[in-house]
Amino acid sequence: MGIAERPTVRKRISFSRIKDVLEVPNLIEIQQKSYQWFLDEGLLETFRDISPVQDFTGNLALEFTGYSLGSPKYTEDQCKQRDVTYAAPLKVKVRLINNDTREVKEQEVFMGDFPLMTETGTFIINGAERVIVSQLVRSPGAYFDKTKDTSGKTLYSASIIPNRGAWLEFETDAADVVYVHVDRTRKIPATVLLRALGFGSTQRIMELFGENEFIRNTLERDNTNNEEEALVEIYKRLRPGEPPAVESARSLFESLFYDPKRYDLGGVGRYKLNKKLELADRLIGKTLSRDLISEDDMSGEAGIGPIVDPDTGEVLGVTIDPNTGEVLASAVGSEVPRKGEMIRARRAEAVRIVERARHLAEAYVLDPDGKEAKILGNGYLAPDVKVITPADIVAAVNYLVSLQHGIGVTDDIDHLGNRRLKSVGELLQNQFRIGLSRMERVIRERMTIQDVEAVTPQALINTRPVVAAVKEFFGSSQLSQFMDQTNPLAELTHKRRLSALGPGGLSRERAGFDVRDVHHSHYGRMCPIETPEGPNIGLIGSLCTYARINEHGFIETPYRKVENGKATSEIRYLTADVEDRYTIAQANEPLHDDGGFVNPRVTCRLKDDIVIVSPSQVDYMDVSPKQLVSIATALIPFLENDDAGRALMGSNMQRQAVPLIRTEAPLVGTGMELKAAVDSGVVVAAKRAGIVERVSADFVRVRRDDGEVDHYNLMKFARSNQGTCMNQRPVVRTGQRVEVGDVLADGPSTDQGEMALGRNVLVAFMPWEGCNYEDAILISERLVSDDVFTSIHIEEYESEARDTKLGPEEITRDIPNVGEDALKDLDHEGIIRVGAEVRTGDILVGKVTPKGESELTPEERLLRAIFGEKARDVRDTSLKVPHGEAGKVVAVHVFSRENGDELGPGVNKLVRVYVAQKRKISEGDKMAGRHGNKGVIAKILPVEDMPFLPDGRPIQIVLNPLGVPSRMNIGQVLETHLGWASAALGVHIATPVFDGAREDDVFEFLEKADLPKNGKMVLYDGRTGERFDRQVTVGYAYIMKLMHLVDDKIHARSTGPYSLVTQQPLGGKAQFGGQRFGEMEVWALEAYGAAYTLQELLTVKSDDIAGRVKTYEAIVKGDNVPEPGVPESFKVLIKELQSLCLDVKVLSDDEHEIEIREADDDIEGTARELGIDIGDRSSRIDRMAGPYRETEAADAILEDQADDDDEGGDKDEDVDSSEFDADDSDDDKID
C-alpha cells in the first residue's frame, strides 16, 4: 500500500459547456460573517451609542471602555444533553468619573452569558439548535412615488424614512400644492417646514427654488411669514393641546431631526439619501441650460458663497478657496460639461470630480419641454452625518417638484436596491441596543439616588434588562427559529433563508401581490424558484448560490467584467441598483478562447428588459448559469426542462427527505452535491493535511505533517430536531493521505461526501390495474426487504421527579400493582436498560407520586403501625411508551441534584430515554422525485408480480405516465433516460442547471450504453408472463422518502381522555383523541334517517357521562346497552344561558320540568345502582371522566403536548389548549 494513496473522490462525467470562472463561496458565510461583525464591531458600536451615561446634573459620568468574552462553561454536545444555552460570559470594562472631585473608578462588570454561534452557524438555546433567519426590510432613504387621482391627474409623493425617528412624507395635490406630514401628523404646506429650517422669508424660498409654480402655489396656502411662526405651527401639529412657545417649538424641532439619539439614518440611510439626492446622478441624461461651473470659478478668482446665509447657522454649499479652484481647472479642464451639452453616464464621472471638490449644490438643465429648470442637490454629505440636514430636505422637495417636469425617476419599493438584509449581527445589535437603553434609564435613576462618594460602577449597573432582551430575542423572536434539521439540505437552506416577515417587516395579511412577485432585481440575489407554497409564498425566499451581503446590507451578485467586447477574468460584485446601469450578457453566451464573443449580436439583460446588442456594448457577463438559483434548486438536474411551479415543489420537497440507513448519491446529479454536503457541516472534513493513523466507528485520528495528532470524534445515533437519525461513519482507511478539506466521514444523507437524499431505483411509467391512479405509487416488496428506503427515527421521552405538596416523587423499581413481567427491563433504580425492545404501554421509567391522604380504616391503621410509612398511598406515575410507538432504547441520560446537575426549580431528578425506531417503507408513505413529482404508496407488490424487463429484472417502482404531460415537468423523464444509461455504463453524471445535457446528449448516451434511443422497452407482466401491448419508458430515477410518514399519522381510539368542561373526547393524535363528528356529518346521518346511530354518537360515545359508564359496563358484562341520558354539552349550554341571566328550564311534552342533574350526582347514582363504593368526593375527582381515564396517560399526554409546543407544535393536530389547562388543573386538585 503506497503512503500517498488518497481517499477516493467520486468522479462525475459533466455535460457542462461553461468553464467555472468563480468558486461557489462558503454557503453559511452569511451567518458567520454577520455574527463575527457583531462581536468585532457591533457590540462596541452599541456601547459607544450610550456612552457616557450622565446623571441629570452632569456630575457623574459612566463610560463603557471595552468588553471581553470568556470561554463557555460547557461544550456544544454537553449543552444539548443538559438543555442549557451555549454561551460565554460577557464582561464589560466600565469607568465612573466624578466631575466634581475628578475621581475615576474602573471596574469590570459581568453582563450575563452571551449566546455563541457554533461553527455551523447555529445557536444552542436551552439545548435546542436554533437559526436566526435574515430579514428583508425596506432600506432607510428617500423614496418618490406617483399615483393618479380620480380626474386622471398624476400626483407625486416623497418619503424620507430613517432607521429610527420621525418620518417626513411629502405629497402634491390636484391644485399643485406641496404638503408635508411630519411624523404621521396632519398635513401642512411644505413651505412651513422650509421656513422652520431657516429659510424664513418668502423671497428666500423663491430664490432657492427658482421660478416654480408648485412652490408659488404652496406659498399662497402658507399662513406663516417667518421662521418663528413656522416652528410654532409645526409644534401645534406635533403637540396638540400644549401651549405653543417659540423656544419649546425650536427645541422639539431640533431634537426631532438633529438629535442622533432620536433620529438616525444609519450608514445605509445616508448612503441611499446621498445616492438619490446628489447632483451628479440627477444630471445624467439631461442637457445643461447654463455652464455647470463658470470660467471665474474654475480659475479660483471668485469664491462661491454658501447657499444658506451664515446667520441661519446652516451651511449647504462650501466655499472654494483659490487653490482648490486652480487644481480643479488643471485636473478637469475641458472635462467640465458646458452649456447645451448632454451629460451621459460616462461624463457624469467628470461632474462627480467637480462636485467632490466643492459640494456643488445647484445646476440648470432643460426639461423635456425645453424649459429651464433648476436642480438642487444635497451637497453629498459625509457618510458619518447620520441625522437629516436642511440640505437633504430642500433637495427632496426640489426632486419632488422636478418630477412634474419629467426630471428624475420614481422608485420601485420592491426593487432589491431599495430592500436590504438584516442578518444575525444586526438583529442582535438592535436587540442589545434595546436592552442597553433600558439599562441606561436605570443607571440614571440610581445615580440620583445613591451616595456620590461611595458609589461604584457595579452598584449603578443592573444587567437584567440586557440579559432579558437577548434572551427574549433568542427565545421568542419570529426570526429565531427552531432549526429544520430533517436532513443536511434542510439545515443549510434554513441558514440561507430570507424572510420579509418579523418585527419591522411585513405581515402575511397586509402583503400584496407585488411584494411577493418575482422581480428582475432578484436575478442572482434571491431565488425565483424556492419559496414556500401557501400564505408565505414570496415573503420567504432563499439566497442565490453566489450572492453575498455588502456592508450596507444589500445583496450583491458577481459578474465578469467585459472590456472592448471581451470577457476578462476580473470579477465585480454589483448591488441591484448599480446593476441597472449596465448591459449584462448571459453566462451561456458562447466565447472564443480569448474571451471574445462568438456571435456578432449578443442577447443581454438591461434592467427588466432583454436587449440584443453588439459585443462592444456589453458591460458585464454572468459568472455561472447557476448563479440565479438557490442551493436546493441547483441540485435539480434538468431544471430547465421543468415547469417553475413543479420545480418549486421539487426544491421544497428535497428538504423533507428522510435520511436513509443506506445512502446513495444520485446517478444523475448537478455537480453541486459535494459543496452542499460539505458546507452543511454534517460531514467531517480534514482541517489539516496528514496520514490517517487510526479509524474506528466513533473517531478518526490523523497524524499531521508537523507530527502532531488531530482527533475527530464522530456523531453516533444522535437525534435531530425533527427526530431523524444523525449518524456519521468513516470513509477513509488507515494509512491514507488526506489533504485539507478531504472528507473523513459521511454524515446523514451523504455518500462519499456528496449530498444523498434518496435512492436510485428502476422505474417504469405505466398504469398498473389502476393502483397508481391520481399520483399513487406502486412499489416492489424488494424495496422493503432490502431496506432500500428504511430510515431510523429517534424519539425522546423524559420523566422528572419533583417535590410535590405531599412529599417528593420517587424514581423506583418498586411500583404498586405492577407485575414482575412489566419490570423485567428496568434496572435497580427503575430506569430501562439500553438495548431493550419496547412497545406501547411499556414502562421506561418507574415513578411513584404520593397520593392524598384519606380517612384511614382501622385495618389500614394497623398495617401502617406494623409496616411503618411504606404502606402509604402512592400513585403510579411511571413514564410509559405512548400509544402507537415502539422501538429500541438507544440511550439513557440521568441528571440529578446529587450529582450537581443544573435542574429546574422543584426537580430532583431528570431521566431522558431515547427510543429508536426502524421504519421500513409502507403503504401511505409519501415519496417524491426532484422535479415536484410526488405521490403516496398505494400498494406494495410481491417481486414476482412486478412487471419485468426482457432480461428478467423486475421494475422497482411503477409511476403513472399521466403525471407528466399536464404538470410539464419533463425533467423527470430525461433524468430517467440518462439514469438508465449511466447505470448501464457504471458512471455518475453531472448535468448542471441551465448548462446540462441536451436532448441529443441524452440520446447519444443511451446509444453508447446499447440501450434503445427512445428510452423505451418491452415489459412483461409478472403475474401472467405476457408482454404489455405498448413499449414502456424505463430507467433509473432518484426517489426520496419524505418526512410525512404514515406511522406518524395513523391513529385509532376506543376509550381515552375527555375534556373537562364539555366532557367530550379530546381531538388529535397527540392527545390520543377521537375523530370529530362535525355538523356536516350530522346532516349526513339526518339525511339517511339513521336516528339510533346519531343518538349514540351524540350521547354515549361522546359526553353523556353516566350513559358512557353504564354502556362500558354493559359491553363488558354482555348486557343490553341502556338508554342514553343527557349530554354534558347540553348542560353546559343551559349553564351558559343562565349565566346571561336567562331563566332556562327544560320541559317535557306535557310541560313538566325535567330535572337536569350535575355530573357528580349522575356518577353517584350510577355507582349506587352498580353497587360500587367510590369513596368521598375529593378522592373521586380523579375518576370523574369514567373508570378508564388513566391519570398517567393524561400526564404523559400533557407532557407530550408540552414537548410539541416546545418544538413548534404539531401543525396537523387541531388542539384546544384551554382543554389542556382544564385537564391539568384536575390533576392539581389531587395533589
pLDDT digits 0-9 by tens, 789-819: 999 999 999 999 999 888 889 999 988 888 8
pLDDT greater than 60 at residue 494:
yes
For the chain, where do the domains classified as CATH 3.90.1100.10 start and end?
29-137+421-494
Query: CB–CB of 500/515 below 8 Å?
Result: yes
854-908 tens-digit pLDDT: 666 787 777 777 776 554 578 899 999 998 899 999 999 999 998 888 888 999 9
CB neighbourhood size of 817 (10 A): 5
| Interatomic CA distance for residues 1192 and 877, integer angstroms | 5
pLDDT category of residue 318 using cuts at 50, 70 and 90: very low
| Interatomic CA distance for residues 675 and 671, integer angstroms | 8
Average pLDDT, integer, range 650-666 = 95
The sheet carrying 53-54 orders its strands as 53-54, 60-69, 87-98, 103-115
> Which CATH code is given to the segment(s) 138-260?
3.90.1110.10
Average pLDDT, integer, range 443-460 = 86
Average pLDDT, integer, range 567-583 = 93
814-825 tens-digit pLDDT: 888 888 899 999
Q: Contacts from 817-823 at CB under 8 Å and sequence distance 24+?
A: 817/876, 818/843, 818/846, 818/876, 818/878
Q: What fold characterizes domain 29-137+421-494? A: Rna Polymerase Beta Subunit; Chain: C,domain 2 (3.90.1100)
61-114 tens-digit pLDDT: 899 999 999 999 999 999 999 999 999 999 999 999 888 888 888 999 999 999
| Interatomic CA distance for residues 231 and 182, integer angstroms | 12
pLDDT score at 302: 33
pLDDT score at 757: 95
1100-1148 tens-digit pLDDT: 888 888 898 899 999 999 999 899 988 988 989 999 999 999 999 899 8
pLDDT greater than 70 at residue 840:
yes
pLDDT score at 921: 95
C-alpha cell at 445: 435613576
> Which CATH code is given to the segment(s) 791-919?
2.40.50.150
pLDDT score at 281: 66
pLDDT score at 340: 45
Higher pLDDT, 365 or 44: 44
Query: CB–CB of 251/118 below 8 Å?
Result: no
Cis before 465 (ω within 30): no
pLDDT score at 1054: 82
Q: Look at the chain and count its residues.
A: 1231
Q: Pick left, alpha or beta for residue 621 (phi over 0 → left; psi -120 to 50 → alpha; otherwise beta).
A: beta
pLDDT greater than 90 at residue 13:
yes
pLDDT greater than 80 at residue 1025:
yes
Bridge partners of 958, per DSSP, are 764, 778
Name the one residue in this structure whose C-alpha cell is 454572468: 622
For the chain, where do the domains classified as CATH 2.40.50.150 start and end?
791-919
pLDDT category of residue 287 using cuts at 50, 70 and 90: low
Least confident range from 7-16, 999-1008, 1036-1045: namely: 7-16
For the chain, where do the domains classified as CATH 3.90.1110.10 start and end?
138-260
686-713 tens-digit pLDDT: 999 999 999 999 999 999 999 899 999 9
First to last CA, the chain: 71
1049-1085 tens-digit pLDDT: 888 888 888 888 888 888 888 888 888 999 999 999 9
pLDDT score at 1141: 94
Whole-number average pLDDT of the chain: 85
pLDDT score at 1069: 86
pLDDT category of residue 1187 using cuts at 50, 70 and 90: very low
Higher pLDDT, 370 or 451: 451
Rg (CA), the chain: 37
Of 1058, 1018, 1009, nearest in space to 1159 by CA: 1058
| Interatomic CA distance for residues 733 and 738, integer angstroms | 10
Highest mean pLDDT among 205-214, 455-464, 628-637, 1213-1222 belongs to 628-637
Bridge partners of 171, per DSSP, are 157, 179
Report which secondary-structure segment, H or E, holds 1105.
helix 1105-1117
pTM listed for this prediction: 0.86
For the chain, where do the domains classified as CATH 2.30.150.10 start and end?
551-623
| Interatomic CA distance for residues 20 and 22, integer angstroms | 6
CA distances in angstroms from 62 to 58, 89, 452, listed in the order given: 11, 21, 12
- Residue ranges in 696-775 assigned as alpha helix (H): none
Query: CB–CB of 650/930 below 8 Å?
Result: yes
pLDDT score at 282: 66
Q: Does domain 551-623 have CATH number 2.30.150.10?
A: yes
Name the one residue in this structure whose C-alpha cell is 426532484: 930
Residue type at position 80: K
Bridge partners of 792, per DSSP, are 918
669: CB partners within 8 A, 6+ apart: 12, 635, 637, 754, 988, 989, 990, 991
Give percent of the chain with pLDDT exceeding 90.
Answer: 57
pLDDT category of residue 339 using cuts at 50, 70 and 90: very low
Residue type at position 1184: M
